[in-house]
Amino acid sequence: MYTKEEIRKEFATAKEKDLSGKTETFVNRAAMMKKHMEEERDMPELYESMEDRNGKPFNFAGLYETYSSDNPKEYVFLKYYGMTYRELWMKKDPKAFSGSTEDMIENVSVEVPNVPKDDLSNIVEEMSEV
């Protein structure tokens, strides 16, 4: 029989593997959910003590569906709110997205470092004047 702690440890390991590459993936977390979804179907007695905070059985099928999507975060927002995370954020805080893209770019302040000129920068500068 599985415990919540065992599932949490297994999930942490899967997440660590998913984060170990250059970009985050969800392959290991999806595989873990699929494994438990299939085991729960075949051997439900292993999961008798598994309940979420609301006293409901863990929904491994739903978690598998979420983690096997292209973008789990967006999948959850679309499924439960009917809109993307950005759309929901825009709805809650319209000021954050007011104005055009050009206005937003214009309003970004960037400090340009003072870099001493060298031979290469002089050559590039001369080439751009031609």
Q: Where are the domains of the chain?
A: 4-106
Name the band, by pLDDT with cuts 50, 70 and 90, for residue 112.
low
Q: Can you give the pTM of this predicted structure?
A: 0.65
In the predicted model, is pLDDT for residue 72 greater than 90?
A: yes
- Which two three-digit tokens encode residue 104? 């937003």
Secondary structure of residue 49 in the 3-state scheme: coil
In the predicted model, is pLDDT for residue 10 greater than 80?
A: yes
Q: What is the pLDDT of residues 13-65, one digit of tens each?
A: 999 999 999 999 999 999 999 999 999 999 999 998 888 788 888 899 999 99
| Average pLDDT score over residue span 111-130 | 74
33/60 Cα distance (integer angstroms): 6
10/54 Cα distance (integer angstroms): 22
In the predicted model, is pLDDT for residue 119 greater than 80?
A: no
